[in-house]
Amino acid sequence: MSKPDRKPLWDALVEAMRNVNTDGCVVWPFATDRDGYGRIRVGRYTNLAHRQMWTELFGEPDLCVLHRCDNRPCVNPRHLFLGTNQENTADRVAKKRSVHGTSHPQCKITPEIVAQIREEYVFGSRTYGTFALARKYNLHQTTVWDIVNRVIWKDALHDSALSAEVSI
Ligand SMILES: [Zn+2]
């Protein structure tokens, strides 16, 4: 059974957002993660929909893509801005929201970093174990563990739960 080609939908959405003239939220109509952020499959990996939208419109962000509107599935670029993880956390604390453990998306992670971590990882190694790689890539150790164990950034081939996602 072949998957539906949703790329034309994504392309149309990007074009719509390039010329967006509404100040209302534009809520991602497809799959969301357990934190409520829109998800989109890019090649073998999934990305946050609002982050992918930013990438399409403005290029790869080197910081977190944050919401002014506090509406996690929103992909209206007028509501998005770049900030640091710290700002992201401060923002969340200020809004008295909780972080759901290690499942919280780490905006610093890219498919390239995921691939690198998985290639370099050596179980129990002092230089290539989860703690060492966490230091190297400035991530939480639990995040690195999740990456190498494919709890997050799962290989699409093994991830049937993501079937509702848009692929581009
Ligand atoms: Zn919004």
In the predicted model, is pLDDT for residue 157 greater than 50? no
> Could you tell me the distance, in angstroms and rounded to a whole number, from the CA of residue 24 to the centre of ligand 1?
6
> Could you tell me the distance, in angstroms and rounded to a whole number, from the CA of residue 157 to the centre of ligand 1?
32
In the predicted model, is pLDDT for residue 101 greater than 90? no
> Could you tell me the distance, in angstroms and rounded to a whole number, from the CA of residue 58 to the centre of ligand 1?
17
How does residue 162 score in pLDDT terms, banded at 50, 70 and 90? Answer: very low
Q: To the nearest 10°, report the CA torsion of 41, 104, 70, 52.
A: -20
Alpha helices (H) in 19-74, listed in sequence order: 49-58
**What's the pLDDT tens digit per position in 27-73?**
998 888 888 899 998 887 788 999 999 999 999 887 889 898 989 99
How many whole angstroms separate alpha carbon 166 and alpha carbon 44? Answer: 12
Q: The dihedral of CA 65, 35, 163, 118: what is its sign?
A: positive
> Could you tell me the distance, in angstroms and rounded to a whole number, from the CA of residue 113 to the centre of ligand 1?
28
Single-letter amino acid code for the residue at 125: S
Choice among 8-17, 78-87, 105-114 with the minimum mean pLDDT: 105-114
> Could you tell me the distance, in angstroms and rounded to a whole number, from the CA of residue 73 to the centre of ligand 1?
8
> Could you tell me the distance, in angstroms and rounded to a whole number, from the CA of residue 78 to the centre of ligand 1?
8
